[in-house]
């Protein structure tokens, strides 16, 4: 019986598989096989035993592991026994030789995190691609900029997408930087001294990680220190917060009274069970809602680094939830964002309507700057434009007409000057050039 929405509603099959019981078991057994191979390399165990162990892991069944765990109440030892049962010629006595449980469990986690990071990396690159396409496509689409929820000077939709693309590119950079710290394993024994491996402990650990193609800790106690994992969870929280921000903006711009953009709406899609006309931004809302869950994982994972002495078990149960949930939901959110942004519908007529909604009042800065250039002091120009703007606001007149009727303004600006200054298409600065530079910099060949 499915209980958690991840089981039936959220997440991709590829990310769910990474954190499945079957894959977890496979990764642990790979670590066991790599340990046996490394120990055989240096002559600690017979090569024949390492071969048998490596060949035996493919026949270990998850159901048998669970049966053993039900009897002995130790998950890792259940796997060791299950592998041993499949070994012949006394090779069973060399399974897990010199290791402690978390040598295998944490190393397996490193392997899982490697796969999870690759899935997220591929998707976030796709997200960057669609953001750059929208930025380039709409670099000349002038729209109302807004601060404090109020219409300000013009901007362009291309610039908005370029800003988001730059932020996503930084997340890609952060992921690349943290992977060497995240994707590591260990073979350090009960408290980190490698005593059970003797003088060859460092070499054994090195060889195991080479076989597994992941990094190796420099030093640890019984577990890999959780600052590494906390950094990754914070990366996921940071990433989905960017998408939360984008989704909030889309939801705002889709409001009926603004109606500049809209999520794609399928032909037979239903918006409301009682209001048939509704076209709700449900995917953007889902992004915002699930981002809250991912962010909530930061505190538990930070606390997983504060364990007693060489370790306790409080991190284990917590991470069984944090790692899969955070990864599955982050992957799901990125996938949703790709679809929303890629299929976003624009309404140019509404964009233009909102740009002109204030009858030119939002062009006050352009007038002020030009007056200052022509000899009016900056502060004097500000007050001159402000008083004209308040008059236009209170009377409902067009800002252009109030300016034209003001003799103090007329001393410096002609009618043609004023008409040009209140034209929003003439006041987007270097927006287009900035977008083009971002697209050139971040676009993949």
Give the domain extent around 210: 101-264+274-353
Q: Is residue 440 part of a domain?
A: no
Whether residue 385 sits in one domain with residue 321? no
pLDDT for the residue 276: 75
With b for 16 or more beta-carbon neighbours within 10 A and e for fewer, the 275-299 pattern comes to: eeeebbbebbebbbebbebbbebbe
Q: Is residue 386 part of a domain?
A: yes
Nearest CA-CA partner of 307 in 222, 378, 384: 222
DSSP three-state, residue 308 = coil
Domain with 24 in it: what CATH number?
1.10.275.10
The predicted model scores a pTM of 0.94
Whether residue 382 sits in one domain with residue 233? no
Whether residue 320 sits in one domain with residue 182? yes
pLDDT for the residue 274: 72
Picking from 40, 63, 94, the residue at the C-terminal end of a domain is 94
Hey, what are 317's tokens? 């149960």
Question: Looking at 148, 256, 277, 317, which residue is catalytic?
Answer: 148
Residues making up the chain, counted from first to last: 445
8 A C-beta contact, residue 224 and residue 141 = no
Number of domains comprising the chain: 3
Whether residue 139 sits in one domain with residue 55? no
Q: Is 84 designated active site?
A: no
8 A C-beta contact, residue 328 and residue 23 = no
Question: Looking at 59, 264, 272, 414, which residue is catalytic?
Answer: 272
Picking from 322, 353, 384, the residue at the C-terminal end of a domain is 353
The residues that bridge with 146 in the sheet, in sequence order, are 151
Q: Is 272 designated active site?
A: yes
pLDDT of the chain, 445 residues: tens digit per residue: 889 999 999 999 999 999 999 999 999 999 999 999 999 999 999 999 999 999 999 899 999 999 999 999 999 999 999 999 999 889 999 999 999 999 999 999 999 999 999 999 999 999 999 999 999 999 999 999 999 999 999 999 999 999 999 999 999 999 999 999 999 999 999 999 999 999 999 999 999 999 999 999 999 999 999 999 999 999 999 999 999 999 999 999 999 999 999 998 777 777 766 777 778 889 999 999 999 999 999 999 999 999 999 999 999 999 999 999 999 999 999 999 999 999 999 999 999 999 999 999 999 999 999 999 998 888 998 999 999 999 999 999 999 999 999 999 989 999 999 999 999 999 999 999 999 999 999 998 7
Whether residue 108 sits in one domain with residue 127? yes
Q: Is residue 41 part of a domain?
A: yes
Whether residue 194 sits in one domain with residue 70? no
Question: What Cα–Cα distance (Å) separates residue 10 from each residue in 16, 89, 149, 291, 338?
Answer: 10, 47, 32, 13, 15
Q: Is residue 4 part of a domain?
A: no
pLDDT for the residue 272: 63
Picking from 353, 377, 401, the residue at the C-terminal end of a domain is 353
Nearest CA-CA partner of 95 in 64, 135, 55, 67: 55
Whether residue 88 sits in one domain with residue 113? no
Burial class (CB in 10 A: 0-12, 13-18, 19+), 191: middle
pLDDT for the residue 273: 67
């Amino acid at each position: 019986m499915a209980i958690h929405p991840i089981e039936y509603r959220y997440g991709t099959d590829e990310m769910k598989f990474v954190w499945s019981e079957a894959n977890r078991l496979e990764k642990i057994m790979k670590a066991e096989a790599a340990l046996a191979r490394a120990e055989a390399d240096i002559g600690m165990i017979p090569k024949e035993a390492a071969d048998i162990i490596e060949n035996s892991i493919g026949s270990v069944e998850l159901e048998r592991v669970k049966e053993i765990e039900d009897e002995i109440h130790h998950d890792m030892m259940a796997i060791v026994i299950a592998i041993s049962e499949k070994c012949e010629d006394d090779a069973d006595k060399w399974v897990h030789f010199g290791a402690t449980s978390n040598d295998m469990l944490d190393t397996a986690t490193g392997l899982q995190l490697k796969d999870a990071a690759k899935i997220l990396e591929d998707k976030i690159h796709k997200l960057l691609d669609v953001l750059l396409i929208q930025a380039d496509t709409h670099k000349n689409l002038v729209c109302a900029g807004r601060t404090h929820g109020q219409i300000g000077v013009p901007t362009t939709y291309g610039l908005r997408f370029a800003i988001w693309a730059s932020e996503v590119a930084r997340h890609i950079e952060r992921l690349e930087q943290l992977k060497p710290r995240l994707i590591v394993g260990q073979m350090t024994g009960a408290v980190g001294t490698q005593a059970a491996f003797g003088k060859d402990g460092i070499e054994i650990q090195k060889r195991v990680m080479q076989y597994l193609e992941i990094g190796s800790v420099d030093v640890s106690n019984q577990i890999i220190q959780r600052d590494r994992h906390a950094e990754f969870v914070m990366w996921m929280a940071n990433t989905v917060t960017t998408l939360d921000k984008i989704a909030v903006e889309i939801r705002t711009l889709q409001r009926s009274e603004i109606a500049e953009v809209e999520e794609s709406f399928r032909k037979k899609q239903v918006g409301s069970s009682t209001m048939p006309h509704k076209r709700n931004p449900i995917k953007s809302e889902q992004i915002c809602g699930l981002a809250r869950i991912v962010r909530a994982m930061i505190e538990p994972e930070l606390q997983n680094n504060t364990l007693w002495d060489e370790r306790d078990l409080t991190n284990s149960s917590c991470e069984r939830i944090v790692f899969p949930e955070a990864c599955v939901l982050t992957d799901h959110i990125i996938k949703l964002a790709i679809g929303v942004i890629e299929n976003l519908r624009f309404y140019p007529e509404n964009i233009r309507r909102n740009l002109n909604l204030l009858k030119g009042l939002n062009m006050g800065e352009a007038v002020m700057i030009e007056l200052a250039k022509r000899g009016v002091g900056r502060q004097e120009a500000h007050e001159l434009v402000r008083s004209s703007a308040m008059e236009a606001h209170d009377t409902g007149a067009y800002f252009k007409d109030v300016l034209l009727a003001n003799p103090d303004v007329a001393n410096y600006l002609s009618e043609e000057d004023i008409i040009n200054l209140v034209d929003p298409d003439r006041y987007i600065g270097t927006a287009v050039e900035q977008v083009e530079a971002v697209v050139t910099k971040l676009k993949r060949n």
